[in-house]
Each structure stands twice: as C-alpha cells, then as structure tokens.
Amino acid sequence: MSTEAPAGFPDAAGHFGRFGGRFVPEALVAALDELGAAHRTAMADETFRAEFAALLRDYAGTPSLLYEAHRFSARAGARVLLKREDLNHTGAHKVRNVLGQALLTRRMGKKRVIAETGAGQHGVAAATAAALFDLDCVVYMGQVDTERQALNVARMRMLGATVIPVTTGSRTLKDAMNEAMRDWVANVDDTHYLIGTAAGPHPFPALVRDFVRGIGDEARQQCLDLTGELPDAVTACVGGGSNALGIFHAFVDDPQVRLYGFEAGGEGVATGRHAASITGGSTGVLHGTRTYVLQDDDGQTVESHSISAGLDYPGVGPEHAWLHDTGRASYLPVTDDEAMAAFELLCRTEGIIPAIESSHALAGTLAVAGKLAAELGRPPTIVVNLSGRGDKDVHTAGGYFGILDGESA
Amino acid sequence: MSRIGVAFDKARADGRAVLVGCMPAGFPTVEGSIAAMKAMVSAGVDVIELEIPYSDPVMDGPVIQRASDIALAGGVRTRDALRIVEEVAATGAPVVTMTYWNPIERYGVDAFARDLAAAGGTGLITPDLIPEEADEWLAASDSHGLDRTFLVAPSSTDERLAMTTSHCRGFVYATALMGVTGARTQTSQAAPVLVARVREVTDLPVGVGLGVGTGAQAASVAGYADGVIVGSALIRCLLDAPDESTALAALTALSADLANGVRHPTP
Ligand SMILES: Cc1ncc(COP(=O)(O)O)c(C=O)c1O
C-alpha cells in the first residue's frame, strides 16, 4: 500500500493506495482522459483559477464565515467553530463543486450536463450552475426520491432542468447514478457528467476535491486569525465525501489536527440499516471506483438507510477509504437519533437550522469532544463543517419531532 | 486454441459469422434460464453468453436491467450461475460468462477463475474492467486457461485498441455504438469502422454487440464481423411472453431467424 505517496494525491491512474482507479466501460475512457487533461490544465491556468475565485466570491458568497458557536460550545465542552457553508448560495458546500465543473464544461466546449441526485440538493445545485452557464441540464433522480422530495423536483424545473425519474433497481440515488452513467456513455461527445460528490472513476474524486478544497483553505486561515492556532480537530459528515474532503484537505499535513468523518449510522450499524460504508462495509467496486461499499456475499450492492437523504449512499469516495486505511482520518458512525438530537440542539442554542447531513457532524463532534478534552487536558478547539442549511429538511425534521400540525410523528 | 476460437474458426471456414446469444443467469428462474439457453442452442445459437446479474449494471439498457432485477429478486447467486454454466456447457455449445467486476472480486478472482474453468466455461467478458485494472484477472485467467474478452468502443484511440486487444484471448468484443445494451431499429455506422480498426491491430475474431435484434441486422453485422452478439432482443422474448411455452417458442423463432442471418452475411 502506497502510504508513502504525498497525502491526497492519487497516482497517474487515480489510485489512492489500493483504492480509486477506473472501473468503467471502455467507451468512457476517452472522455475520462479528456476530463483529466482539462482538469490538469485548468488548475494550472491562472485565468481559470481567477474566474473560479470570482464566481465563488461574487455569486456563491464565499468565503463562508467561521462562526464561534458559544452556546453550542458550552454544551459540547469544546470550543466549536462552525464553517458556515450553509450560508452559501443554494444552501450548501455543493455550489463550489458545480461552479467548478460548469466552468470546466464550458472549457471543454460541451453544451449539456447531466447529474444524479438523491434528495435533490446536488440536482438543484447542478441546475443552478447550468442556468448560470446556459447549459442544457438533465437530472436523474430515483422515483422513490422524486416522490419524497417533490419540492426539490419543482426547484430544478424552475431553474430549467429536466428531471428524469429512475424506475430501475432500488429507485434511489445509486440507481440515479447508474442512469447518469448510461446517459453519459451514449452522449459523451457533447455532455459532461457533473457528478455530485468526490466519488466515481478517476479523475472525478480528485477533481471534485480540488473544487471544494477552498472550504478547508478558508477555515484554516480563519481559525488561525481567530484563535492564533490550528484547531485540535476538524469534523464533517461523510456521504460520498465531498464536504469532508473539502475541509480536511488543508489540514492533512498538520499532524496535530485530528480529522473525523462521521458516517450515517441510520438505525445503528449493528441493525444493518445504515449508510456507513467505511464502518459497516467492505472493499469493493461501485460506480467506477474501488472503495468501501455496502454489499452482500455475492458483491451485490445492499441498499443504504439514513434519515439524511444526502448521506444515503452505499459507497464512499476512494480518498476517504484511503485516509481511513492510512489512519490519517477517523471514521465513526452517527445514528439517526443522535443526528436529530444535535439538529435540535443547534436550532435551540444558536438559532441555526442545520441540514440533517451536517447534523451528523455536529453529533459526532459532541461525541468526541469529551475524549479529546480528556486527552488534551483542556477543552479542544473543533472546526465543524456545517455543510448545509436545513430548510430542505423541515418536512423530515418536523415529522421526526412530531411538530407538523395535522400530522403525527 | 480455446473452444471459442474453434467455434470462430469453424464458422469462418463455413463463410459465416458466429451467433452469440446472451441470457442472464436465473432469469426468469434458474431452471427457466437453463431451459431458455438450451432452446437457443437447439435453434442455432453457437455460443452462449451467460450474464451473471449485478445490482448496478451500468452498461445495460432497460431490458437487461429488468431481467437482472428479476433474477436477483429470485435470489440467484454467483454459485448458481456456475451451475448453469455446467448444465448449458453440457449441450456442447461454448459458454462464456459476462459480468461486472464487483461480483467477481467478491467471489475471489482466482477462485472464480478456478470454478468457472471447472464448470466448463470458456472465459469471461468484463464490461467494466479495463486492462489497466486487470492484473489479478490476467494472472487468474492465465493460470486457469480461460479466455479474456475486454471491450473496445468507437471512442477508443488506436493506441488503446492495440493495448486492449493485446490483453484479449478468444475474441474481442466491439461495442457497435456509443451506448448501452438494447435492441435498436438501426445498427450503427460506427461498427464496421471500429471492426476495421480492430483488425489493424489483432488477428483475434471480433464480435459485435449492442443493438442487434433481427435476422436482417444479424446478416448485415455478419458482413463485416466474426461474431454477432444478441442480448436484449432474445431476453425480451421471455419478458413479453405470458407463459413459458410461449416464451420458448418466441425465443426459438428469433434464435432461428438470427442463426439464418449469420449464415447469409450481406456485404
Ligand atoms: C448539506 C449536505 N451535506 C453533506 C452532503 C453529503 O455529501 P458529501 O459527503 O459529498 O459532502 C449533502 C448531500 O446531498 C448535503 O446536501
């Protein structure tokens, strides 16, 4: 295992240690090569970088604040600094990825983007970027999800995207991803697959990581400015892994900064009803990459479960699998109930309604704060990636807490 | 020479193409799929491509997806597929398996190669494994004497065609068009060009798949390729039929039509 490789940089074929790579139909190899070349030259191009930076600043509203959550901190027994990605345009870290990929789409001369979405967050972000860049946009969404996330379907349509319900397999996110890959195989000449997380075949994991890594670059400097020191720990939720990689990356070479990724433990990893691919899965190949996946003894993908649609995915980006293997980052499960308790706590202590995804990071932070305090002999400073806002989750959370008039929990 | 190679040589000597018929293992049931494949062989299908169903088949269109879902819902397992290989190979027709990489990796690459060889299978078609990621499979297929069929596509560069075909054994699978499996009313213009490009870099027989559904299409593909690979159209015979005897009758009729097509290549 190439633990000696520089942190976070895959080899030329996209391997992070024994993970990553390309497990794709031959028909896609040329497009992935083209994308990889476009990614490399774009990242080396001052003009591209300046354009991306200007969009992030003027359109997305970054740098997002690093906010010291005093009342939440008191409850956590830690100095908790929230990286407020929830304040970005479209309400999550995902806007960074879609703007980067839309710029790259234009650079490659392509006119159409396709995307997969679970809850609809990435679909909305993709539709947003497509509107801004005048690109045709088709979003694949499992039929189960189009029904439970009707408002986000309407949002995407308002933005001019076509939403196609996927009726095969389990009719959820993983099937939407399959359908997006099928579309891409057939239309690769004029279409870019605007993938929603740091997963999939090389170069997607590295490319998405590069577009979201501003989260950590900003947070590192903001933390130094605010406290004069690096944090003791950085925490994030992990679905496919983009927001977590985005905030981890700037700290990977700071050995004193502990990195924690919190996976969706659903009803508990022991119940089998969860989405914790690293904690509760095994090594396999899914959606073009080798990583940890939820699978049965025959290698068939097992359906994931989480109260958080954005974490409800049976795989994880390969760089996280590798960070787990090398021990650089720690991955722990957080149950639905733990996440919802943290959701409520942030609402009540700070007047911030977090996304349920991000609530997993908050709950995990509460869980590790005590251990860290004991280890350090003082309250730890913890930077939490508050990856998104909870407006989209009002229905789910309202149902969970039994506070929707006319409905019971 | 592999048994597939013998079938291609024999067909070439007869001035015709080999007909490869694809069926998912365990669709509609394990026994039903065995009966279907035996019927196909009786009606003139030369080689059986047995697809081991996978939950996330990104190269497959709606027909094969549905058939795979049905097979998986029925509980078919990789070891059932190996038993099917054994039963169908007993007809004398070469049986080549096709599946996505994760089921193989999960079974154990060498163990799968060993058990496939023991069951009488000739090799494996790998739709989502490219040679760059295939070290373990290259070793396992060598040590158990199995054929390796990687895919080539219209978008493959000349360099990749040479590299990929140099790792193939038995035959090369040319995906006729950019897209997923599924019968189409027109076969592709890109296919003959791709086959000609493949012939520049290898002497292996070339099979063409994706989109063939009628005897006439088979005849036209047979005009330039060594093998005609048919999947969705055959599977649809089973999906659409109200009962097994109707299904087998439709399957037999289509197989015979396709078998006739590969015997009358149109230039
Ligand atoms: C707010 C928010 N956070 C996190 C995620 C999980 O994705 P990732 O792990 O790629 O950051 C999502 C996905 O929809 C999301 O909407």
Closest CA to B156 of B211, B209, B201, B218: B201
Same domain flag for A145 and A276? no
What is the Cα–Cα distance from A387 to A382, expressed in whole angstroms?
15
Catalytic residue among A64, A83, A94, A179: A94
**Ligand 1 lined by A101 (C-beta under 6 Å):** no
Residues A236 and A70: their CA atoms lie apart, in Å, by 19
pLDDT, tens only, B250-264: 999 999 999 999 999
Instruction: Please give the Cα distance from A80 to A381 (Å, whole number).
Output: 6
In a shared domain, residues A99 and A85 = no
Between the alpha carbon of residue A389 and those of residues A88, A178, A234, A394, the distances in Å are 9, 28, 19, 10
Q: Of A203, A221, A240, which marks where a domain is finished? A: A203
What's the pLDDT band for B1 if we cut at 50, 70, 90? low
Do A170 and A308 sit in the same domain of this protein? no
- The question of whether A304 is a catalytic residue gets the answer no
Q: Is the CB of A100 under 6 A from ligand 1?
A: no
Tokens linked to A206: 């590295």
Contact, B207 vs B172, CB < 8 A?
Answer: yes
Residues A256, A244 share a domain: yes
Asked if A278 and A260 sit in the same domain, the reply is yes
Asked if A300 lies within 8 A of B154 by C-beta distance, the reply is no
Pick from A26, A168, A285: CB nearest B164: A26
Q: Within this chain, do residues A138 and A76 fall inside the same structural domain, yes or no?
A: no
- Mutate which: A171, A298, A302, A304, vs B, most B CBs within 10 A: A298
Q: What angle do CA A16, A213, A205 make, to 5 degrees?
A: 35
Average pLDDT over residues A65-82: 98
Token output for B154: 């219209």
Length of chain B (residues): 267
**Residues A158-208: tens digit of each pLDDT:** 999 999 999 988 888 999 999 999 999 889 889 999 999 999 999 999 999
User: For residue A405, what pLDDT is reported?
Assistant: 85
pLDDT reading at A271 higher than 70 = yes
Residues B235, B239, B241, B243, CA torsion sign: positive
Same structural domain, A264 and A164: no
Would you give the DSSP letter of residue A167?
-
**Token duo for residue A61:** 């509203």
A119 or A91, which is more confident? A91
Among A203, A223, A251, identify where a domain stops: A203
Q: Among candidates A245, A323, A240, which has minimal Cα distance to A7? A: A323
Which residue of A27, A169, A284 is in closest CB contact with B178? A27
In the predicted model, is pLDDT for residue A15 greater than 60?
yes
Which range of residues forms the domain containing residue B110?
A: 4-263
In order, the DSSP letters of A356-405 are: HHHHHHHHHHHHHHHHHHHHHTSPPEEEEEE-BBSGGGHHHHHHHHT-ST
Same domain membership, residue A396 and residue A265: yes
Sheet of A289-293: strands edge to edge?
A15-16, A19-20, A289-293, A282-286
**DSSP per residue over A171-191, as a string?**
SSHHHHHHHHHHHHHHHTTTE
CA distance B151 to B167: 11
Alpha-carbon distance of A236 to A358, in angstroms, equals: 7
**Both A174 and A241 in a single domain?**
no
> Is the distance from CB of A362 to CB of A343 less than 8 angstroms?
yes
Do you find a cis peptide bond into B28, omega within 30 degrees of 0? yes
Packing angle, helices B62-73 and B232-240, rounded to 10: 60
Q: Do B132 and A169 touch (CB under 8 A)?
A: no
Residue A7 domain-assigned (yes or no)? no
**Known catalytic residue at A110:** no
* Contact (CB, 8 A) for B121 and B145: no
CB of A122 shorter than 6 A to ligand 1 = yes
C-alpha A141/C-alpha B171 separation (Å) is 37
Indicate which CATH number applies to the domain containing A125. Answer: 3.40.50.1100
Question: How many domains does the structure of chain A reveal?
Answer: 2
Does pLDDT of B155 surpass 60? Answer: yes
**Domain count along chain B:** 1
- CA angle at residue B101 from B95 to B104, to 5 degrees? 65
Does any domain span residue A406? no
> Is residue A5, in this structure, part of any structural domain at all?
no
In whole angstroms, what separates CA B80 from the centre of its chain? Answer: 18
For residue B126, what is the domain's CATH number? 3.20.20.70
Q: How far is CA A58 from the centre of its chain?
A: 23
Query: Would you say residue A6 lies in a domain?
Result: no
- Among residues A203, A228, A254, the one where a domain terminates is A203
Range of the domain at A185: 15-58+94-203
pLDDT at A112: 98
pLDDT digits 0-9 by tens, A206-230: 999 999 999 999 999 999 999 999 9
Same domain, A85 and A187: no
Compute the 3-state secondary structure of chain A and give helix, strand, coil in percent, each to the nearest 5.
50, 20, 30
The total of other beta-carbon atoms located within 10 Å of residue A402's CB is 9
What six digits make up the tokens of A46?
């001052």
Catalytic: which of A73, A218, A387, A392? A387
A3 occurs within a structural domain: no
Considering the domain architecture, whether residues A26 and A81 belong to the same structural domain is answered as no
Report pLDDT for B188: 65
B239 touching chain A per CB within 8 A: no
Dihedral sign computed on CA atoms, order A139, A143, A145, A146: positive
What is the distance in A from the centroid of ligand 1 to the CA of A86? 11
**Domain check: are A367 and A282 in the same one?**
yes
At B169-206, the pLDDT tens digits run 999 999 977 666 666 655 567 899 999 999 999 999 99
